[in-house]
Amino acid sequence: MKKYWLLLILPAVLLPWWGLGRSDSGPEVDFATVRKTDIESTVPTNGKVEPVQWAAARAETSGVVRTVDIQLGQRVHAGQVLVNLDTTSARAELASALASKEQAQADATALAQGGKASTQAELEDQIRTAKAAVAVAQRNLEALKRLATRQAATKVQVQDAKDALDRANLSLAGLEDKRKTLVTASDQAVAQAKVHDAQAAVSLAQHKIALGEVRSPISGTVYQFDLKVGAYLEPGGLVAYIGKLDQVKVTVYVDEPDLGRVGLNMPVAITWDARPGQKWYGRVDKLPTQVIALGTRTVGEVTTIVDNPNHDLLPGVTVNATIISKIVKDAASIPKAALRTIGSTNGVYKLTGRTIVWTPVKTGISDINNVQILSGLQVGDRVADRVVEPSDAELQNGMSVRPVSGT
């Protein structure tokens, strides 16, 4: 009788245990919940920074760098001296040219006043002497004429005296003519030409000295400069690059398959490994007109304009760029890992009770983590994300699973 009762009780005890074992069968799966979130479709790439507006400061003459008045990263204004070259030779030329100019101006002034004072004084002395000689000859002739009337002098003596007077008058006339022609118009023209030549030499020497000061062609920030005192520069030698860095141009390299997702004025975010945690923002300014080979990639060069208010982004550096091609607000989304493809159909394993059911879905845009669901699921549905235990289990339609909490 007791054995009979044991046979009746044993199935009642084993039945719940068997059901509990069945409920714990199947792989342990992490599930994600369909939820609304903002999704940004992005094109991640890299690029190189350049100034939007820049200019090169170059030496216009050869010389040794004597002083350096700037440093890399310094803000300068247009016309500010960047470096000074050694102008010792040009300063010696200037001193010589100034001396020549003073002499030429003195000569021109003397000629304007009738000639040199010493020459004028000498000529005036000669004229006075000649006049005195004329007066003596005149008195001698008159005396001989009076003597001749008294037959105390001969005609020959009178004629000799007259000839002497003529010679004295002729000498005086010659000296007076010389005084009139002491300074001619051509003399004055030559003197003025010498003044102009001297002034030109002064101006040339001053210009050479001015060229020794290499100045900034524009206002901006010095972003390339490595000259040291003692360096030698040839004419046209580069001194520094100066750029306006309030905004910079970032040329980003977009892979050919992604070019169709990029359009004008799309937002772009820039990061730089040298400044972790910082971001700069801008927009797409110019689309490529051709694709080029870049290493193993085929890319188009997309030009973006990025705000750089603190001048932190320096020209020449390589940065990371993310072009935001599309943004969907409050999109029904799931993690990318939850989306699976069977054949050519995208779908998910949706949880129904403790069973997963293959459910085809239509997707929209995606970001690095999530994908938009356009149809096939509702907000709140739970979909298989990853298998927890055993990790190599293969999910199948209709499979019983052990759900664990997910996102």
- pLDDT score of 259: 93
Spacing of C-alpha 399 from chain mean position: 65
| Cα angle value 230/233/239 (rounded, 5°) | 95
The H or E element spanning position 128 is helix 117-149
Regions in the chain scoring below 70 on pLDDT: 1-24, 107-108, 110-121, 123-124, 175, 177-188, 191, 405-407
- pLDDT score of 185: 58
- pLDDT score of 183: 53
- pLDDT score of 20: 41
Give the three-state DSSP class for 87. Answer: coil
- pLDDT score of 96: 87
Q: Is 242 exposed, middle or buried (0-12, 13-18, 19+ CB in 10 A)?
A: buried
d(CA 171, CA 163): 12
d(CA 272, CA 318): 7
- pLDDT score of 15: 41
Query: 308 to each of 71, 272, 276, 282, 319, how far by Cα in Å?
Result: 20, 13, 16, 9, 13
- pLDDT score of 23: 45
Task: Identify whether the C-beta of residue 364 lies closer than 8 Å to the C-beta of residue 38.
Answer: no
- pLDDT score of 17: 40
The model carries a pTM of: 0.56
- pLDDT score of 346: 93
Which tens digit of pLDDT belongs to each residue from 161-192? 888 888 888 887 876 766 666 555 566 677 67
DSSP states of 140-152 as a string?
Answer: HHHHHHHHHHTTS
- pLDDT score of 184: 56
